[in-house]
Structure 1
């Protein structure tokens, strides 16, 4: 791939994650043209030095690399297919990198449809939350062809620090499902630990500090421990989206006959939190669910 200044990147989906990712590509010197259903997000990219588009078709026309970051499988399919989509409007040979988190089978199908349309496709979901997107420190798990991965690696390196090809089309989404399984369990156990510590009158801030330095340490503790203690749950990644991801995990595990009892429990706890009206909060709000079950004052209320 040529230098960043000679590479046009179309970025579709400028939300909590996508907006920061697109801005970091601008900082890295890429010519970035963005589209989002909410015009304000496009305006923010323009203010950061990018260009704006009024449609998917306009954004992808002439782009060398196309990146999508939208909520769910149907959204990705809508962006890719149809008269106004990527396949009908992108130039032949362009590389489409889907950073959304969707079903692995949908990614594999779209990769095949892309080949038929002359578009090379990589599924490349990310992990790291809003902070990782803002700091360009995302972990990116990629499925697709080695040659296509090698070509767009510099683009991905501009938004992430751990960028790994994990297998053929759909593999990135499978690894992301495993990631979300681990993250859900981690958040739930951190939440339970906080409630447990508080019940015994322990200095929870000091407790989390020492826990983070031992085998119990995790990125969840490092990035979210303080905000959980403070009852701050502004969404970096919403419960609603993690609920969607847990559905992908449950369905995918069932399809292969894999038993995930802890994952199934985490999925039910996340579902319960949505039913209680917390779907728009950050997934660290699992703390609120544990507090309710324990009959304690609910953080943030």
Structure 2
């Protein structure tokens, strides 16, 4: 069993979600080693006793369980397979858990290489945004060796409430793609619904009271539309990262011979938002597509 007495946790990627996630593990009593490109983002964790590392290499040398949540697949590849990456310097028997939304094929590649070093890897992307990370109520989709999943489950339970083992390496990432496909079209639907209500002269807040608990209800409707109406476009999840996810899903769908017109439409709208300089806003900024 992984306990604070026999476990040092490494955490790479102290961003909008990673900061809260690392904080939950630290508050659970685990020694914490952190690395992120901008050291200032880790200031609170360092003040609370976390140890700083200068690279993924140093994290791998100091920790026996490492969580990563970085930006893009190329960041994941560099973090795990780069010259100063986790795999090259990880301890035998270590557990590396990637919570980035990344490529399923890359997850398989990392798993294959890790096995050569007797290291366990798990792809465990999450859904729930900044709120889910803050409240430790993330949905976590897991791929990898089932035995390794069982070993790290108590740690994942510090971060989320809906934790489901999906199958072999890459399965967690494929599940996250299904999640993103569902969200992509839903974001268009919920935004069009609230724009329609406004144009009809209705009070959008009152409309939400009726439709959030009915058949139209969704996480995006309940959590992101209120942000839209307040003009709060700060990122719980960046547009630029959502575009990355949608591209991965479209590429995977194409490889499987599947058409995804709803996903393609959503990506085209978000691409236009990014071109207008909205890429660092939250996905709820799609509201501006109709309002600007």
Aligned to 1:24: 24
How far apart are the structure 2 equivalents of 1:278 and 1:2?
42
Check conservation: 2:65, 2:95, Cα contact below 8 A. yes
CA-to-aligned-CA distance 1:97-147 (integer Å, 9 cap, x gap)? 000111111111111011112211110000000011111110000001110
Aligned to 1:294: none
Aligned to 1:106: 106
Question: What is the TM-score when the length of structure 1 is the normalising length?
Answer: 0.94
How far apart are the structure 1 equivalents of 2:114 and 2:180?
27
How far apart are the structure 2 equivalents of 1:56 and 1:181?
31
How far apart are the structure 2 equivalents of 1:56 and 1:192?
43
**Off by >4 Å, runs of 4+ in structure 1:** none
SS in structure 1 at match of 2:49: coil
Check conservation: 1:23, 1:48, Cα contact below 8 A. no
Is 2:110 aligned against 1:120? no
The 5 Å alignment of 1:200-219 reads 200-219=200-219
Check conservation: 2:191, 2:225, Cα contact below 8 A. no
Check conservation: 2:24, 2:136, Cα contact below 8 A. yes
CA-to-aligned-CA distance 1:234-287 (integer Å, 9 cap, x gap)? 111111110111100110000001111111111111111111211111001111
How far apart are the structure 1 equivalents of 2:208 and 2:262?
23
SS in structure 2 at match of 1:61: helix
Aligned to 1:145: 145
Is 2:260 aligned against 1:257? no
For structure 1, the residue ranges without an aligned partner over 5 or more in a row are: 292-297
SS in structure 1 at match of 2:179: helix
Deviation at 1:5, TM superposition (A): 4.1
How far apart are the structure 2 equivalents of 1:189 and 1:48?
43
The 5 Å alignment of 1:26-65 reads 26-65=26-65
Aligned to 1:69: 69
SS in structure 2 at match of 1:169: coil
Check conservation: 1:92, 1:118, Cα contact below 8 A. yes
Deviation at 1:219, TM superposition (A): 1.1
SS in structure 2 at match of 1:235: coil
For structure 2, the residue ranges without an aligned partner over 5 or more in a row are: none
Aligned to 2:183: 183
Greater mean alpha carbon deviation, residues 53-62 or residues 156-165:
53-62
